[in-house]
Structure 1
Amino acid sequence: MQTTQHKNTLEFAREQDQNDPLKIYRNQFHIPKDKNGEEQVYLCGNSLGLQPKLVKDYIQQELEDWSNLGVEGHTEAKNPWMPYHEFLTEKMAKIVGAKPSEVVMMNTLSVNLHLMMVSFYQPTSERFKIIIESDAFPSDKYAVESQLKFHGYDPKDALILWKPREGEELCHFEDLEKIMETEGDQVALLLIGSTNYYTGQSFPLKKITELGHRHGAKVGFDLAHGAGNIQPNLHKTGPDFAVWCSYKYLNSGPGSVGGCFVHERHANNKDLKRFTGWWGHNKQTRFNMRHEFDAIPGAEGWQLSNPPILSLAAIRASLAIFEEAGFKNIRAKSVKITNYLEYLLKEIEGDQIEIITPQNPEERGCQLSIKVKNANKALFDKLMAAGVIADWREPNVIRVAPAPLYNSFEDVYKMVERLKALL
C-alpha cells in the first residue's frame, strides 16, 4: 500500500520528519550510539524497545522511598506500592482496547499464558484439541504442548497447526475455517499470536474469535508482538483472554512484567478453575490472613504475588509517553513510516530480497520481515556492522521494525541505503 507521493531521497525523509506530529518523542528515548559516538539506526523495537529517559526518574523515586521509608513505602511512598499496579491499568487498557477491569500487569508472558490455560483450557474426552499457528513463537508452542501433556494428551494427536499453503509464508483465514469445519467439535482452545513474530502478519482477531466461539471453543491471543504495535480492541473483539510482554513495543526494559486480559464476561465467575495466590484475593481482607480465597472480580483475580515495583516503575514511565502521544496517533505514524520503508525496499533493484509481510497495513504492524534469497547470516552481520540494529530469524529473515515513538523517516532511509550498498 504505497503512495505516489513517496520519494527515494534523504530530503524527502527529512521533510516527513519535520512534519511528523510525534517528532518530539524521539528525544525522550536513549538512542544507542556506535564507538564513534554516532547514533545507530535502531530498528529492533520488536525485540527490545529503547529506554525512555523518564525511566531513571521513575525508578529513582521508588529507590528513594525504599531508602527513606522501608516497609512503610507500601502505604506512605509518593506512589504507594500496595496499589502500584493499579497506576498502570487505565493507560494499558487504552493501548489494548479493553476496560480497566479487564487488564492487569503481572508476572511475565509465559507465566500468564499458563495461568490462562489453567482457566480456559478445560479438556474433555470429546473436546480436547488446541489450535495454534504453525510458526507460533516457540514459547507458545512449548507452553501448549506441556499443557496437553499435563492433561494426558499426546501433542501429536491434540495439537493442530494452522499452516500457510505450500510455497507461501502467510496463513489464510479460510484455511482456519476449514480446520474448524472438520475438527471444530474437538477443539477446546484457539490460541493465536495476534501478530506473528516471524512474518509480521497480523491476524483478523475478531473473525478468529467469532469462529472459535461459534464452534464452542475458547479463544486466546498472544499479543507479544501486538501490544503497543497494533490496536487489538480486545473488549469489542471478545476473546476470552490475551497475554503480552511489555519489553518490546512498550519499552519497559529487558524481562519486564507482562500483561493479561480477561474479558468481563468472566469477571465474576468464581467457579472458573484457576491457580491462585494471595494478591488475587479480596483487597479488603487480603491482610487478615485467615480467610478462604475470595477472588477479586476481573483480571486482578488472577494475580499471584505482590508485583515488582521497580519493574512496574519502568512500565509506568513508558505508558506515560504512550498516554501523552495517544495510541491512535502512534498507530497512524506506524502505518505511514512502514509504508515508506516498504516503498524504499521495493526500489532496490534485483531479486536478492523479498518482503514476506502482508502489504495491507491492516494486516501488519510496523515490522517488515525481509527474506534474503540464497543467503546466510552474513548480510545481516554486515548490516549490523554498518550501524543498523535489526534482528535475524532463521533460516533467512531480517526483521526491521520502525517504532513510531522514537524512529524517524531518516532512520528508515539510512537503513535502506546501507542495505543497498551491501547488496
Structure 2
Amino acid sequence: MHKATLDYAKKQDELDELSNYRNLFHIPKDKHGNELIYMTGNSLGLQPKQTKAYINQELEDWANLGVEGHTEAKNPWLPYHEFLTESMANIVGAKPIEVITMNTLTANLHFMMVSFYKPTKSRYKIIIESDAFPSDKYAVESQLRHHGFDDKEDLILWKPRKNGALLHYDDLEAILKKHGNEVALIMIGGVNYYTGQYFDLKHITQLGHKHGCTVGFDCAHGAGNVALNLHDSGADFAVWCTYKYLNSGPGSLAGCFVHEKHAYRKDLNRFTGWWSHNKQTRFNMRQEFDLLPGAEGWQLSNPPILSMAAIKASLDIFNEVGIKKLTNKSKKLTGYFEFLLKQLGEDVIKIITPQNPKERGCQLSIQVLNANKALHNNLTKAGIISDWREPDVIRCAPTPLYNSFQDVYHIVDKLKDILNKKN
C-alpha cells in the first residue's frame, strides 16, 4: 500500500533496480546549483552523459581521417544507421528489417503517406483523432489537398464523447461502419500527446483492415515510453521521433516502421534516393535503381552521423536496460504519482489520462480546478520543469530512466503548497 511520505518515496528508490541509471544523465540545475525536478521527458529527453563522447568520437575521426572515415572510422559511417537498427527494433517491438532511422518525424509521415495513402475516386478519406498533434493534422490535410480532395470534408475526426477527453473504440467502429468504404487511411497518434491515452494499436489495425483501410501510427509519445509491439499490431507503418523518451537531442533524427508484409513489395509507390538502392552497387554510379528490401528501402540520403551518434549513445542505455524493465518501473512510478495527486482531493485535481496502466505510459495530464497558466509558472519557480498545454492542462511525465520516486513526491508536495497559498 502506498504512503504519502518522503520516507516511503526514499524506500522505493532504494528498492528500485534502475535507480542508478539516473546518474548516467545530466539533470538540469537552477542558478544556485540545485537539481531541478524534470518532468518533461515527453517533450525533450535529458542528455546522457556519454553523448558528448559518442559525438566527439565522430568529430575526431572526421578530423583525422576525412573522407576515409566512411570506411575507416571506429564506427564506419557508411553502415552507421545499421548500428542503431536492432536496438531501435527492440524498443518498438519490431523486426530489424521493419525499422529504419532517418529524416525527421513529419517528413517520415509524408514519406509513408506517399506509399500508403493511395486514394481512389471512391476511397479517399482519412481518419485521425480530433485532438491529434497539430503537425500530424497539418500533414494529413496537406496530403488530402495534394491529391485534390477537401482537407476539411474528407478528413474524419475520431472525437471524444461530450464532456470527456478520452476516445472510445466503439465510436471508431461506428465511424468505420458508416464511412469504411470511403476511408483510404487511418492515421492515429499511438499515445495521444495531450491526454496521454495509449491506444490499442492492434485493435485499431484490425478494425481498419477489416474495412479495407491502410493503418499507420505516429508513435512520437510511445517510443521508449510504452511497449508498442509494432510488428504484432499488424500496422502498415509507424513513425516516431527520438528526442523525447529516446533522449537523442533537440530536433534529432526520427524512426520509421514498415511492416514485414511490405518488405519486398516493389509495386508500392515511393520517393527514392541512392540510400534506398542496393548497397553492393550503390557506388557504381551508373546502375539502374535496385530497391533495397524492408524499411531501408524508404531511405533517400546518406545519414547525418553526428545526430546518429547521439541516438546511439541513448540506445546503448536502452539496450542495457530493456523495454520490459523500463515499463515495469514506469507503471510503479506513475502509479505512485497518481496516488499522491489523488490525496490532494479529486474535487481539486482531475487526471484526464486513463487510470488503467495498460492504457497509458508514464505521462499524466492534470487539470486543476480554476487554474490557469499562473499555476504552471509557480511550479516552474518552485524548481519543477513541467509542461503547460492550453486551455488548462499540465503534463508531467516521470520518466523511468532518470526520474525517482522522490521526484514524484516533491512535485506533489510543492503543488500542494502552491494550492494552499492560493487558497
In 1: Cα distance, 2:79 partner to 2:153 partner: 44
The residue type paired with residue 114 of structure 2 is V
Aligned position for 1:306:
302
Residue 180 of structure 1 aligns to a residue in which SS? helix
The residue type paired with residue 292 of structure 2 is I
Residue deviations 1:374-423 (CA, integer Å, cap 9, x gap):
22200000001100001000000000000000000000000000000011
Aligned position for 1:155:
151
Aligned position for 1:257:
253
1:289, distance to aligned residue in structure 2 (A): 1.3
Aligned position for 1:184:
180
CA RMSD for the aligned pairs? Answer: 0.7
Aligned position for 2:166:
170
Match of 1:362 among 358, 361, 367: 358
Contact 2:128–2:188 (CA under 8 A) maintained in structure 1 = yes
Aligned position for 1:126:
122
In 2: Cα distance, 1:373 partner to 1:348 partner: 12
Match of 2:215 among 210, 215, 219: 219
In 1: Cα distance, 2:411 partner to 2:19 partner: 19
Q: Please, which runs of 5 or more residues in structure 1 have no aligned partner? A: none
> Does 1:410 find its partner at 2:402?
no
Aligned position for 1:64:
60
In 2: Cα distance, 1:295 partner to 1:242 partner: 20
1:350, distance to aligned residue in structure 2 (A): 6.3
The residue type paired with residue 108 of structure 2 is N
Match of 1:277 among 273, 290, 297: 273
> Does 1:379 find its partner at 2:375?
yes
1:349, distance to aligned residue in structure 2 (A): 3.3
Aligned position for 1:209:
205
1:157, distance to aligned residue in structure 2 (A): 1.7
Residue 152 of structure 2 aligns to a residue in which SS? helix
In 2: Cα distance, 1:258 partner to 1:373 partner: 37
In 2: Cα distance, 1:350 partner to 1:57 partner: 47
1:373, distance to aligned residue in structure 2 (A): 2.6
In 2: Cα distance, 1:349 partner to 1:298 partner: 51
1:290, distance to aligned residue in structure 2 (A): 1.0
Q: Structure 1 residues 152, 350: CA separation in 2 closer, same or farther (over 3 Å shift)?
A: closer
Q: Normalized against structure 2, the TM-score is what?
A: 0.98
Residue 217 of structure 2 aligns to a residue in which SS? strand
In 2: Cα distance, 1:13 partner to 1:378 partner: 28
Matched residues, number: 419
Residue 216 of structure 2 aligns to a residue in which SS? strand
> Does 1:333 find its partner at 2:343?
no
In 2: Cα distance, 1:50 partner to 1:207 partner: 33
Residue deviations 1:212-263 (CA, integer Å, cap 9, x gap):
0010000000000000001110111110000000000000000000000000
Query: What percentage of residue pairs aligned between the two structures are identical?
Result: 70
1:155, distance to aligned residue in structure 2 (A): 1.5
Aligned position for 2:387:
391
Contact 2:342–2:349 (CA under 8 A) maintained in structure 1 = no
In 2: Cα distance, 1:335 partner to 1:134 partner: 27
In 2: Cα distance, 1:160 partner to 1:293 partner: 38
> Does 1:23 find its partner at 2:19?
yes
Aligned position for 1:112:
108
Match of 2:240 among 235, 238, 244: 244
Residue 224 of structure 1 aligns to a residue in which SS? coil
The residue type paired with residue 178 of structure 1 is A
In 2: Cα distance, 1:298 partner to 1:159 partner: 30
The residue type paired with residue 354 of structure 1 is K
Residue 63 of structure 1 aligns to a residue in which SS? helix
List structure 1 segments (4+ residues) > 4 angstroms apart after TM superposition.
none
Residue deviations 1:303-335 (CA, integer Å, cap 9, x gap):
011111000000001000001111100000000
In 1: Cα distance, 2:349 partner to 2:332 partner: 22
Contact 1:41–1:415 (CA under 8 A) maintained in structure 2 = yes
Q: How do 1:1-20 and structure 2 match up within 5 A?
A: 5-20=1-16
Contact 1:110–1:140 (CA under 8 A) maintained in structure 2 = yes
Contact 1:373–1:396 (CA under 8 A) maintained in structure 2 = no
Aligned position for 2:134:
138
In 1: Cα distance, 2:216 partner to 2:275 partner: 23
Residue 187 of structure 2 aligns to a residue in which SS? strand
In 1: Cα distance, 2:267 partner to 2:196 partner: 37
In 1: Cα distance, 2:340 partner to 2:247 partner: 27
Contact 2:141–2:152 (CA under 8 A) maintained in structure 1 = no
Residue 160 of structure 1 aligns to a residue in which SS? strand
